[in-house]
Amino acid sequence: MKKGLFIFIVLLFGFMLLMAGCSGTDNGVETDLQPDSDKVTSPPLPEMPIVITDQMGREVVIEEIPQRIISLSPSNTEIVFALGLGDRVVGVTEYCNYPAEALEKDIVGGFSTPNIEKIIELEPDLILASTIHEEEVPRLEELGIPVMVIESSTVADLFVSIQLVAIVADVPEAGESLVSSMQDRINAVGSVVAEVDQDEKIKVYYEVYSDPVMTAGQGAFINEIITLAGGINIFGDINENYPQVSAEVVAERQPDIILYPDYHGTADLVLDSMAGRPGWESIPAIQNSRIQAASDDIFARPGPRIVEAIEEAARLFYPELF
């Protein structure tokens, strides 16, 4: 029927994702990319104009190879730079702090509050948006600017997103090599932690937020990072992205290690509060002081640095193996 890829992802949206890029539940991605397959096959390269259907079910028509790209989320920015397209980026959000070159680009607003006027002024020929930009996307489209919504809730999605951006920007090889190098690093971690017996695996509690106690459930990217790093997310059974959970259950499930996102400058506060949390005295992670800060930018952004998050998590889980 249509040329190109069909991607349907239904996203449940939470404001928790303000900084994190987003994650969501995934209704199956029609793709032959699997994170556990060693060989990466790229989708067939279509001729210009490229027509793709993105996550908002919109057809995106790319007439020419984009030279002036605006990214509306930190994870999109990281993808574009990782593909070596940094020179073509003309605008980013105020939260796009990686790589360092991104800080020199014009800022078009916050993540959830991009400024349309500022965007138009930069005369982009491609905008990489996110599902949070539901309001802005149609307005930008009316103005004749192609907008592509990039949204990954799993590593497999992320690989597809990277390939898509690479194809649209006419650098398919860069996309393939980035994906395969990421896949290699994930496999490398996987082969090391594969030695750990299933019942020896470390039980991980990831505290997204302290009051109320909030964690990462099945739908969250964090859950996949923990799993790929050889850990067991104690709340991997909850079919939500960021459920609020009972402090009682955290105590009952006896995690061996606690991770929490290090938002700038909050690390010490969290650490203090965690150690003295009433009712958690018998948790092994607390008794053995295994409470670790995870860099939120790396752990929560569905971008190329996700492999760093997986490596970092594996090192924290099994320091004796790395």
Partner 1 sequence: MTGLVMLLFLTIVLGTMLGAVSIGWRNILVMLFDALPFYSSDRALEIAPVYRDILLQIRIPRVLLAAAVGSSLAVSGAVFQGLFRNPMADPYVIGISSGAALGAVFAMLSGFSLSVGGFGAVPLFAFFGGTLTILLVYSMARVGRAVPVMTLLLAGIAISSFLSALVSLLTYFAGEKLHQVIFWLMGGLSGATWLQVKVMVPYALIGYCCVSLFSRELNAMLLGEETASHLGVDTEKVKKILLAGASFLVAAAVSTSGIIGFVGLVVPHFIRLVAGPDHRFLIPASALLGGILLIATDTLARVIIAPTELPVGIITALIGAPMFIYLLKKRKKLKYFGGGG
The span from the CA of 4 to the CA of 306, in Å, is 26
Q: Of these, 12, 16, 65, 196, which contacts partner 1 (CB under 8 A)?
A: 16
Residue 247 binding partner 1, by CB under 8 A: yes
From the CB of 17, what's the least distance to partner 1, in Å?
A: 10
The span from the CA of 173 to the CA of 304, in Å, is 16
Residues in region 261-290 near partner 1 by CB under 8 A: 263-266, 269, 278-283
The span of 49-57, 117-125, 193-201, 206-214 binding partner 1 (CB under 8 A) equals 206-214
Residue 254 binding partner 1, by CB under 8 A: yes
Closest C-alpha to 291, from 314, 264, 273, 311: 273
Residue 212 binding partner 1, by CB under 8 A: yes
Largest separation between any pair of C-alpha atoms in the chain:
62
Residue 221 binding partner 1, by CB under 8 A: no
From the CB of 308, what's the least distance to partner 1, in Å?
A: 20
Burial of 53 (0-12, 13-18, 19+ CB in 10 A): middle
The span of 61-69, 84-92, 177-185, 238-246 binding partner 1 (CB under 8 A) equals 238-246
232: three-class secondary structure by DSSP: strand
Residue 15 binding partner 1, by CB under 8 A: yes
Residue 12 binding partner 1, by CB under 8 A: no
Q: How many CA atoms lie within 13 A of 82 on its CB side?
A: 27
The span from the CA of 209 to the CA of 300, in Å, is 13
202: three-class secondary structure by DSSP: coil
From the CB of 306, what's the least distance to partner 1, in Å?
A: 19
Residue 248 binding partner 1, by CB under 8 A: yes
Beta carbon nearer to partner 1, 147 or 258: 258
Q: Of these, 31, 107, 209, 232, which contacts partner 1 (CB under 8 A)?
A: 209
Residue 103 binding partner 1, by CB under 8 A: no
Q: Which residues of 11-41 are buried (b: 16+ CB within 10 A; e: fewer)?
A: beebebbebbbbbbbbeebebebebeeeebe
41: three-class secondary structure by DSSP: coil
Contacts of 220 (CB under 8 A, 6+ apart): 23, 241, 242
Beta carbon nearer to partner 1, 115 or 209: 209
Residue with tokens 């992205």: 241
The span from the CA of 25 to the CA of 10, in Å, is 6
Residue 98 binding partner 1, by CB under 8 A: no
Site string for partner 1, 104-133 (x = CB under 8 A): ------x-----------------------
Residues in region 38-77 near partner 1 by CB under 8 A: none
The span of 45-53, 218-226, 259-267, 301-309 binding partner 1 (CB under 8 A) equals 259-267
List residues near partner 1 by CB under 8 A. Answer: 15-16, 18-19, 110, 209-213, 235, 238, 240, 243-249, 251-252, 254, 263-266, 269, 278-283
